[in-house]
Structure 1
Amino acid sequence: MGRVEVRYYSRTKAGNTRRIAEAIAEGAATKAVSIDDEPKLTEKADILFLGGAPYANIMAPELRQYAEELDPGMVGKIVLFTTSNWSRRTVLALKKIFKGKGIAVAEDYFYAHMLNIDGKIEAARQFGAENGV
């Protein structure tokens, strides 16, 4: 397996997105890092799991900025995840940004409805294990 990174954006440090990111990271045998704490990749990632949630049905500006500033040479493939009560718009918007930059994006992504986070933790671990190779 190559280098795997997990990055996420959450307005609340103890929130649902962080919990899902940590479960994905556990499955992929790596750690989850908030883009607030470590905004740029310091080494090339063969696989980058990236996620966040929409706020008022709009992607967080911080996550959009991260996506737009991501150096295509620093990542092989991106695997997306989202937590939300509204929709999967964040995933669709991120796919569009990354495809426009020529970055490979996995077709499959992980979605956890915010009202069922506890029920999605094990599935998130499995998703990390299956897609982190």
Structure 2
Amino acid sequence: MKTAIRYFSKTGHMKKMAEVVSEVTGVKAETTNIPVTEEVDILFLGSAIYVAGIDDKVKEFIATLDNKKVKNVVCFSSAAILPSSYSQVKQLLEKRNIHVDEREFHCRGQLTVMHKGRPNKEDLNNLRKFVAGIIS
């Protein structure tokens, strides 16, 4: 099974989470600045909510995806207030006829003093289990 990992991170939280996905899959995590040029069975896509929405760079990345190359997207995210970025990402991917896995991983993210230290060790361990379940 061919896997790719892409993420966008303003604060370092998504990078930390993408590194966990990389650790479990054995695939290098790349930022959304790097296009997906090869065919992949699973694209793990990390995004976060910033002021109630996903960043424009994530939207721009999704616009570059080819539905003939990306078979399935698995979302992972963090946000301080909203439940996850899943619905926003899913809507954009479905417009491109790209399948979005119904399984997603989300944890709280730190915003100033709110949810301080998140994602924490427990969040990252839960992410490890989630990814292992996806690729098994």
Question: TM-score, length-normalised on structure 1?
Answer: 0.88
SS at match of 1:76: coil
* Structure 1 gap ranges (5+): none
Aligned residues: 128
The Cα shift of 1:25 comes to: 2.0
Q: Is the Cα contact below 8 Å between 1:82 and 1:88 reproduced in 2?
A: no
The structure that is strand-richer by fraction is 1
The structure that is helix-richer by fraction is 1
The percent of aligned pairs where both chains have the same amino acid is 26
The counterpart of 2:104, out of the listed 101, 106, 109, is 109
The counterpart of 1:126, out of the listed 124, 129, 134, is 129
Matched, 1:11 2:10: yes
Q: Is the Cα contact below 8 Å between 1:28 and 1:131 reproduced in 2?
A: no
Aligned runs of 1:89-100 on 2, under 5 Å?
90-100=85-95
The Cα shift of 1:132 comes to: 2.6
Q: Distance in 1 between matches of 2:82 and 2:71?
A: 27
SS at match of 2:73: strand
* Structure 2 gap ranges (5+): 110-114
Question: TM-score, length-normalised on structure 2?
Answer: 0.86
Structure showing greater relative contact order (alpha-carbon pairs closer than 8 Å, 6 or more residues apart): 1
Matched, 1:68 2:63: yes
Deviation >4 Å, runs of 4+: none
- RMSD after superposition: 1.4
Q: Distance in 2 between matches of 1:130 and 1:90?
A: 21
The Cα shift of 1:77 comes to: 0.4
Q: Distance in 1 between matches of 2:83 and 2:23?
A: 23
Per-residue CA deviation, residues 60-86 of structure 1 (Å, 9 max, x unaligned), is 000011112211111110000111102
